[in-house]
Amino acid sequence: MNDCIFCKIISGEIKSQIVYEDDFVVAFKDLNPQAPTHILIVPKKHIENIAAASEEDALLLGKIQLAAAKIAKDSNIKDFRLVANNGKGAGQSVMHLHYHLMAGRRFLWPAG
Ligand code: AMP
């Protein structure tokens, strides 16, 4: 998508600190980290959010979560939070599906 900041990161047009990439997924450090480890995991395919995903994206959604588990394992992270904000009202500011992988501090539950 032309004006999507995460599509530009995926294409390399915008620089980011990429920590993982495969055929389907890219993961990079969040610009404004909310935890000592804060990585965004995004599909290369532009999908607005979880609500916009369809049956044909089922495998891709699984690959994102497996990438999160691999990134955590490779970084010796045992405990982490994986969050996807869906929609502006839930805090989604970038309209390209992404999961926040956060670790390295205590997380409250219920989340605020
Ligand atoms: P959300 O609010 O759930 O849509 O999350 C969007 C996240 O993208 C925020 O945590 C931002 O800090 C992060 N972000 C925005 N622009 C960039 C960028 N160019 N590189 C890395 N992270 C970014």
**Domain presence at residue 91:** yes
Q: How remote is the CA of residue 5 from the centroid of ligand 1, in Å?
A: 9
CATH of the domain at 82: 3.30.428.10
**Close Cβ partners of 102 (under 8 Å, ≥ 6 residues apart):** 34, 35, 37, 38, 39, 80, 81, 82, 83
The whole-number pLDDT of residue 1 equals 74
pLDDT band at 99 (very low <50, low <70, confident <90, very high): very high
Q: How many H-runs (helices) and E-runs (strands) does the chain carry?
A: 2, 5
Higher-pLDDT residue of 1 and 49 is 49
| Average pLDDT score over the chain | 97
pLDDT digits (tens, 9 = 90+) for 12-59: 999 999 999 999 999 999 999 999 999 999 999 999 999 999 999 999
* Ligand 1 lined by 51 (C-beta under 6 Å): no
Q: Which two tokens stand for residue 70?
A: 């691999």
Count: domains in the chain: 1
Domain membership of residue 99 (yes or no) is: yes
Closest CA to 21 of 74, 82, 59, 58: 74
Domain-embedded: residue 111: no
- Residue 105 is predicted with a pLDDT of 97
- Structural domain boundaries enclosing 41: 5-103
Within a domain: 109: no
Q: Is 98 a catalytic residue?
A: yes
Residue 18 belongs to a domain: yes
Note the pTM of the prediction, 2 decimals: 0.97
Does residue 30 lie in a domain region? yes
Residue 8 token pair: 């530009």
Q: Is there a domain that residue 48 lies in?
A: yes
